[in-house]
Structure formats: structure tokens, C-alpha cells
Amino acid sequence: MVAARVDLKASADVVARWNGEWMSPPISIKVFRTDFGRLARRYDAIRRRWAEELSVEINGKRLSGTHTREYRKRVKKLRERDRKRDRVNKIAHELTKEPAFLVTENVGKKPQEGMIEDKGSPQLRHRIKQTPIKTVVEKTRDKAAERGLRFVVVSSYRNSKTCPVHGAELSFPLGPKIGLCPHNHWVHRDVASVLNMLRRAVEKLEPVCAEAVKRALSAVDEKTLEEWSQYVLEAEGYVQWPDVLARASPMTPARLGGGRGHL
């Protein structure tokens, strides 16, 4: 899970004199490790092991143990739902623990269905369907209302497929993670998505906040996008990224990942 944070004060009084060689734009990127995928893999492995242990052979035909009473009794004792609920609560707390306005995209009623359309692996499709995306959004919205924070919902149309600097459509020749802009630079699709959500949110914010966000976004360039993309890939466990990304030298290493999980 990738989030962006805008330092509104910095964007108001620093961006005007920003020098790309020495200072970073007042936007920072942070990656949250939700562990939903790990939980899904763990419980899937447990169920498979139990199904194998309890399988029986009748008239030469092997029947899965999932149909047995013992299997159902064991599954009832699993705490998968409780653990997911705990993760959701922790994410919502982290995103709303400081004064902020939060921006997310309209995920729809069944966001997982759209995400698994082009996924061929049954295991990957299962893990995606087990991710409580809508629950996270709803819990964060409730927490924001409880703490008096502004919660903005924007369109999800092509946020992860559009370059946030040039507005051009990205292509994905190296896989689904990294997009190539027609202007010959690369950007992680999650980085593109959070920045495009910020851009869309400008229309719904108060004038002062809208102007600060626009100034912050104007300070983002191709080099910054590639730095953030390196950071996100590394956080996701992709130690080796494309050579074209490795060409960017660190601009402000201390600021990378230093932001909070909110805007």
C-alpha cells in the first residue's frame, strides 16, 4: 500500500524558491506493509494441509477432506477474520492519527473483481480477493469523521496508467509494476496513482489547500518520480529494478519514505 503526504506549510513558503538539485518537493511517499497477502497465503496453506490430512478414498476415488465435519470444526477456530480486522484498524489509525485531509479513489462495490481480470494465477487471484480493500477505505473514512478530518473521494479512472507529470498514457513493457511515459522516463504505477489522486482532489479542496497542493505537484519532475519508484520497488522486495531506473542519483535520500500515510 502506497501513500503520499503533502507538507502544506512547506508547499506554501518553500516551493516558490525550490531548487531541484538541493531540495526535494514538499511531497513524500510512504509504503505501508498491510500483510494481507501474507495472511492469505498462510491460511490457504493451513487449509490445504488439513484438507490433505482428512482426505479419504472411497471405491478407488479420493475425496477431499474439505467435506468432513472435522475440517469444518478446525476452520471455525481459525482467527483469520480477527487478524484482518486488526490490520484494518491499525491502517486506519495510522492514516488518521495526525491532522490532515485524506484523499482516496472511488473503489466501487467490488474492487477486487477488476483487479483479477488479467491475473492468470489462481493463487494470486485468491490473495487479491482476500484483500479487504473496501473495508480499509470505509474504516479510514469512519476514523477520519470521528477525528474531524476531511475525507475526499476522487475518480479512479486511469490514475495508475497516466503519467502524473505529463498527463500522458503509460505503457508497461517490463511488467505491471513500472510504467514508461512517452517522454522517456519511468514511474511505479502506485506512485502515479497517488499523485494523480492528489491532482484530482484539487477541485474539491478549499482554495488555500488547493493552491498548496498544486504548488507541491508542480515541483515534482521525472527524476523525483524515478527516485520514488526505486523506493517503492525496494520496499516491495524487488531488490533489482530496471537499469533505466538505476540511472537516477539520490536527490534527498533522507526524505524518501519519511512521510506519513496521509495527505
- For residue 187, the model assigns a pLDDT of 93
- C-alpha cell at position 229: 519508484
Highest mean pLDDT among 1-5, 80-84, 222-226 belongs to: 222-226
Q: Which residue has the higher pLDDT, 62 or 253?
A: 62
**Are the beta carbons of 19 and 209 closer than 8 angstroms?**
no
Among 40-49, 187-196, 205-214, 245-254, whose mean pLDDT is lowest? Answer: 245-254
Phi, psi for residue 148 in degrees, rounded to 5: 75, 30
Q: Which residue has the higher pLDDT, 114 or 244?
A: 114
**Over residues 137-142, mean pLDDT:** 90
- For residue 125, the model assigns a pLDDT of 66
Percent of the chain with pLDDT over 90: 20
Residue holding cell 513493457? 173
pTM over 0.75: no
- For residue 49, the model assigns a pLDDT of 92
pLDDT bracket for residue 254 (50, 70, 90): very low
Q: CA-to-CA distance for 127 and 148, rounded, in angstroms?
A: 34
- Which amino acid is present at 9? K
What are the angstrom distances between the C-alpha of 243 and each of 75, 174, 186? Answer: 46, 11, 11
pLDDT bracket for residue 196 (50, 70, 90): very high
Q: Which residue has the higher pLDDT, 100 or 83?
A: 83
**Over residues 30-43, mean pLDDT:** 79
Task: Name residues whose C-beta falls within 8 Å of residue 31's C-beta, 6 or more positions apart in sequence.
Answer: 1, 2, 3, 231, 232, 235, 236, 257
- As a whole number, the mean pLDDT across the chain is 78
- For residue 197, the model assigns a pLDDT of 93
**Are the beta carbons of 84 and 39 closer than 8 angstroms?**
yes
- Residues 171-185 pLDDT 10s: 998 888 899 999 999
What are the angstrom distances between the C-alpha of 29 and each of 63, 239, 254? Answer: 50, 18, 12
- C-alpha cell at position 224: 523525483
**Are the beta carbons of 154 and 204 closer than 8 angstroms?**
yes
- Residues 94-128 pLDDT 10s: 888 887 788 988 887 776 666 665 555 666 666 66
